[in-house]
Amino acid sequence: MLLEYLLWHNGSMVAHNAGFVATENDLVDVDALIGAYYDDVPDPATPSERVIFGTSGHRGSALKRTFNEAHIVSISQAIAEYRKKAGITGPLYIGRDTHALSLPAWKTSIEVLVANGVRVRIDARDDYTPTPVVSQAILTHNRAADGTQRFSGDDIADGIVVTPSHNPPTDGGFKYDPTTGGPASAEITAAIADRANELLQNWTSIQRVPFEQAMKSDLIERFDFRQHYVEDLRNVIDFEAMKSSGVRLGIDPLGGASVNYWPLINEVYGTNIGVLNATVDPQWSFMTLDHDGKIRMDPSSPYAMKGLLDRLNAGAWDQYDLVGGTDPDADRHGIVCPGTGVMNPNHYIAVCVEYLFGGNRPDWPATAGVGKTLVSSSLIDRVVASIGAKLVEVPVGFKWFVAPLFSGDVAFGGEESSGMSFLRRNGRVWTTDKDGLIPDLLAAEITAKTGKNPAELHADQVARFGESWYTRVDTPTTLEMKQKFAGLTADSVSATSVAGEDITAKMTTAPGNGAAIGGLKVTTSNSWFAARPSGTENIYKVYAESFTSPETLDTVVSEAMDVVNDALAD
């Protein structure tokens, strides 16, 4: 698995200290970070210091003047104005993760929201709240008496999650979930960001209620996020199978917001789940460094998970049959199996799809499809075809799964970067945001009911569908060249073959929903590549896969870069 992950990063140098425990020099000064949040003021005239909503909200660092009090005041005011304009009259559910900047930003937001007369629901135990838990709370609140979902009307709810996901400890993040419970659409985030940047010009004039006073307001409503979510999990996971089999699941929350959820799951369902590391440390000093030498809490990275792997291989495997992980806001998962290490997210998606659609969710809608991002492995396509399901291929970003999960058009949505969610056992929506807890629990359910762990089931799939090699390469480019990607069409690709095979398709829109992919994807019988620009850096990314050989994959990547460069040169 480590070699496979090296392939993922073969477009850039892997740091010499990747996989080693963080040293004192790698750790953030938390006091200085929080001080900068309050003391440093961004310059609205500097593009990098403005409010910028990516696919998962606004992210940045107080040390770079990209995530400061001024940003959160302005964004919170913009959200308050948006929800008023949209007629959202219900409570706003707000959660936060374990990053050092999350608590200050959470407090700032509450000050602004209360000043705007917004009912704010906070955690009853003053605890951390995972991203999927906020989504589940919103959707439960907005469910009609007949079990269908509402997204407009009286007392409709929305939410905010204060998190930069798996980003380094220096970072903060702030994302808005509208009434559909998942990541806001580009149209909504653009409107909020535009208004926030207007407000940023004179942010000190925005009305606020001092935090201590705000917390005494009738507008603050306490809500037990953890109890609400855990009690509802029975409608998603077969805990009886887990309990009766005695499967032993280990969990590493990576110092994140799910840390206090697992003990309650054991208490409610009688499961055998052990938390390997319950430490919460805003410096994440216990982490091993990721591929680029940074502290990054990514449960799908063998570098970030190296400390856990070492503990397991030193004897901890005696206590567990398999291990799962979650990132700081618990919207990503990682699956670790004995003898194989951290599973590639693509491989686990393929295993989940075959299991879930193979008779283990009989009440799911017969017409509901399998959602995947178009840069996820074609192994998933082959599995979906073998079980006669509908494949729904969308652009990069989990936001594309919000509407189809909400409506039930897809029963499962997964992306190559270890994010997924799927429907309740009765076929109703569970979350419309990524949920890192249910994939870990599902791995235990799969093991309990099949007698094989997910890595063993993946090996079975390889025997039936073939082995593939997958990579992503990042290439420096310019802003001008990045902008050219939007103008690419199928005619921009003059090549007729890739790696010796005829091209079977040239795509600039996703076949699952017709949305522009912001780049292009080219397929052959046994290989494919996709190219798209980064939303935050001056690079473009080439994803590629081959079912032939590693050497063929190298050829695909090389020819893909030629195809992209030729297309952009026109």
Report in angstroms the alpha-carbon separations of 539 from 151, 243, 297, 397, 543.
37, 48, 23, 17, 13
- At 115-133, the pLDDT tens digits run 999 999 999 999 999 999 9
Same topology, domains 40-223 and 229-465? Answer is yes
CA distance 176 to 162: 9
Q: What is the pLDDT of residue 131?
A: 98
Q: Are 409 and 369 in contact (CB under 8 A)?
A: yes
Q: Are 334 and 340 in contact (CB under 8 A)?
A: no
Nearest CA-CA partner of 136 in 471, 484, 514, 423: 423
Q: Please, what sign has the CA dihedral across residues 89, 207, 61, 172?
A: negative
Q: Which CATH architecture has domain 40-223?
A: 3-Layer(aba) Sandwich (3.40)
Task: Lay out the sheet containing 410-415: strands in order across.
Answer: 391-394, 369-373, 410-415, 419-422
**Residues 461-478, mean pLDDT to the nearest whole number:** 92
What does the CA dihedral 74, 77, 81, 82 come to, rounded to 10 degrees?
A: 60
Does residue 4 surpass a pLDDT of 80? no
Does residue 459 surpass a pLDDT of 80? yes
Q: What angle do CA 9, 501, 3 make, to 5 degrees?
A: 20
Q: What is the pLDDT of residue 79?
A: 98
Angle, in degrees to the nearest 10, between helices 102-115 and 30-39: 30
* DSSP string across 537-554: SSEEEEEEEESS-HHHHH
Q: What is the pLDDT of residue 6?
A: 39
Q: What is the pLDDT of residue 424?
A: 98
**Residues 337-344, mean pLDDT to the nearest whole number:** 95
- At 264-284, the pLDDT tens digits run 999 999 999 999 999 999 999
Identify any residues that bridge with 371 across adjacent strands, giving them in sequence order. Answer: 392, 413
- The two beta strands, 220-223 and 120-123, are parallel
More confident residue, 287 or 3: 287
Identify any residues that bridge with 498 across adjacent strands, giving them in sequence order. Answer: 501
Q: What is the pLDDT of residue 151?
A: 87
Domain chopping of the chain, boundaries: 40-223, 229-465, 469-569
| Sequence-ordered list of residues with C-beta below 8 angstroms from that of 87, at least 6 positions apart, any chain | 152, 156
pTM of structure: 0.95
- At 40-98, the pLDDT tens digits run 999 999 999 999 998 778 999 999 999 999 999 999 999 999 999 999 999 999 999 99
| Sequence letter at residue 269 | Y
Report in angstroms the alpha-carbon separations of 535 from 56, 118, 483.
11, 32, 11
Nearest CA-CA partner of 484 in 510, 508, 505, 511: 508
Q: Which CATH architecture has domain 469-569?
A: 2-Layer Sandwich (3.30)
Topology (CATH level 3) of domain 229-465: Alpha-D-Glucose-1,6-Bisphosphate; Chain A, domain 3 (3.40.120)
Q: What is the pLDDT of residue 486?
A: 85
**Residues 494-499, mean pLDDT to the nearest whole number:** 94
Q: Are 495 and 567 in contact (CB under 8 A)?
A: no
Catalytic residue set: 165
- At 534-562, the pLDDT tens digits run 866 678 899 999 999 999 999 999 999 99
- Greatest pairwise CA separation for the chain in angstroms: 69
Question: What is the SS3 string spanning 490-517?
Answer: HHHCCCCEECCEECCEEEEECCCCCCEE
CA distance 306 to 309: 5
Residue 320: DSSP 8-state: -
Give the confidence band of 13 by pLDDT, cuts at 50, 70, 90. Answer: low
Give the confidence band of 8 by pLDDT, cuts at 50, 70, 90. Answer: very low
Mean pLDDT of the chain: 94
Q: What is the pLDDT of residue 117?
A: 98
Helix (H, G, I), strand (E, B) or coil at 283: coil
Q: What is the pLDDT of residue 2?
A: 35
Token code pair at residue 330 = 């618990």
Does residue 14 surpass a pLDDT of 70? yes
Q: Residues 456-480, buried b or exposed e (16+ Cβ, 10 A)?
A: bbbeebeeebeebbbbbbebebeee
Q: What is the pLDDT of residue 362?
A: 97
Q: What is the pLDDT of residue 7?
A: 40
- At 181-202, the pLDDT tens digits run 999 998 999 999 999 999 999 9
